[in-house]
Amino acid sequence: MTRSPAVYLLASAKRGTLYLGVTSNPVQRIWQHREHLAQGFTDRYDVTRLVWYELHETMESAILREKRIKNGSAIGRSN
């Protein structure tokens, strides 16, 4: 199975609740959120709409990007 490290942003609705995550299998992970199989925050707040994603070469770079976004730095920049 080919891995595709990615950072992704989900929303509950327009101007709704947001969730930022990282995964090695974006297609499967988004499906899990939509089917409410990922219990926790996204299930509780019905955050299921994919609004943005960014693919990375390595999981380490995806995790670093997620942390930068969550800390409010480098938003909109890919490095």
Task: Output the CA–CA distances (angstroms, integers) from residue 55 to 5, 27, 42, 60, 66, in the order listed.
Answer: 6, 12, 21, 12, 12
Considering the entire predicted model, what is its pTM? 0.86
pLDDT of residue 73: 57
pLDDT of residue 3: 81
Q: How confident is the model at residue 77 (pLDDT cuts 50, 70, 90)?
A: low
Mean pLDDT for the chain overall: 91
- C-alpha 78/C-alpha 7 separation (Å) is 11
For the chain, the domains span 6-70
